[in-house]
Amino acid sequence: MTFAWLGILPFMLFALLFLLLPTLNIVIGAFQTRTGEFTLQNIFNLFQPSILSAYWISIRISLASAFLGCLIGFLIAASVVLGGLPAWIRAPLLTFSGVASNFAGVPLAFAFLATLGRLGLVTVLLREWFGVNIYAMGFNLLSFWGLTITYLFFQIPLMILIVTPALDGLKREWREAASILGASSFQYWRMVALPILWPTLLGTLALLFANSFGAVATAYALTGSSLSIVPILLFAQIRGDVLQDPHLGYALAFGMIVVTGIANGLYIWMRTRSERWIK
């Protein structure tokens, strides 16, 4: 008899109490009435125009922040790993990325309000020193692009952490072989490197999408109710001051589980394919 299972027992207990059972309760509640009877009405209620609009805004914000996070994060990681920058830059960059990828919620919202709010430091400096009023030009932190830019603070570092090992996995022999055969740097990236990295990039895009789609604390602290996205609608339902229908709240959460589950499933599948290529 082995006692090795005792080592992961606390993790299994934690996952059961705070992940599996709450998720199961949400799924069951989404298909129940107030009296506990089975119904599909809660799911049908998700197709109300206001709720569909909230899902659409959430999906657009998640796609925009995921795409920009992947693009910028990939360029930063590639410049450090393959661009010939000093080796000492890598360790501080990865350390900062590890911290910043988990920096969210109220502190992140306050940081951006203090930086890019109407009276934020950067906003005031641009107006006083350069005569540029970004709010007069149409920028608003409490908007679609404002929330997207805020999300990039943790999306870009997460991309750097994920793609750096994949870039390390590009073997030098592949580039040397491409050069011997007369391929240019552009041809090497188009025909060798990017096809190998493509599953990782698509998988990370799906992961970043799920990461931003489920973020609620940052969005609520930053925009309040001025931007109607699904996590804010769900938060209002939990407080019970708007929808006043707990089972519709379950249905909202169930819809979020489905969307993020699909995104995470794509990430796992793509990640498996990329690891097979690198091996």
239-256, pLDDT tens digit by residue? Answer: 665 456 778 888 888 888
Is residue 242 one of the residues assigned to a domain? yes
At residue 215, what is the residue type?
A
Residue 241 has a pLDDT of 53
Would you say residue 3 lies in a domain?
no
Is the Cβ–Cβ distance between 184 and 249 less than 8 Å? no
User: Tell me, what's the pLDDT at 1?
Assistant: 56
In a domain, 35, yes or no: no
Domain membership flag for residue 39? no
| Domain presence at residue 202 | yes
The fraction of the chain above a pLDDT of 90, given in percent, is: 22
Distances, alpha carbon 13 to alpha carbons 1, 8, 24, 187, in Å: 21, 9, 15, 51
Inside any domain, residue 18:
no
Per-residue pLDDT reduced to its tens digit, 116-175: 988 889 999 999 999 889 998 888 888 889 899 999 999 999 999 999 988 988 888 888
HSE-CB at 271 with a 13 A cutoff on CA atoms is: 13
Q: Tell me which residue has tokens 């350390």.
A: 95
Quick one: pLDDT at residue 148? 92
Of 232 and 126, more confident = 126
172 in any annotated domain: yes
For residue 196, give the CATH number of its domain: 1.10.3720.10
The model's confidence at residue 262, banded by pLDDT at 50, 70 and 90, is: confident
For 27-83, how does the pLDDT look when each residue is reduced to its tens digit (9 = 90+)?
898 898 888 888 888 889 889 888 899 899 999 999 999 999 999 999 999 999 888
CA Rg value for the chain? 22
Lowest-confidence pick of 93-107, 134-148, 258-272: 258-272
Question: What pTM value is reported for the model?
Answer: 0.86
Report the number of distinct structural domains present in the chain: 1
pLDDT in tens, 202-226: 888 988 998 898 887 788 788 777 7
- Containing domain of residue 187, as a range? 50-278
Q: Are 137 and 127 in contact (CB under 8 A)?
A: no
pLDDT at 151: 94
Nearest Cα to 139, choosing from 130, 149, 129, 131?
149
The stretch 5-9 carries a mean pLDDT of 82
Asked if residues 39 and 32 have their Cβ atoms less than 8 Å apart, the reply is yes
What's the CA gap between 101 and 104, in Å, rounded? 8
For residue 7, give every residue at least 6 positions away whose Cβ sits within 8 Å of its Cβ, in sequence order, or none: none
Contact 30, 43 (CB under 8 A): yes
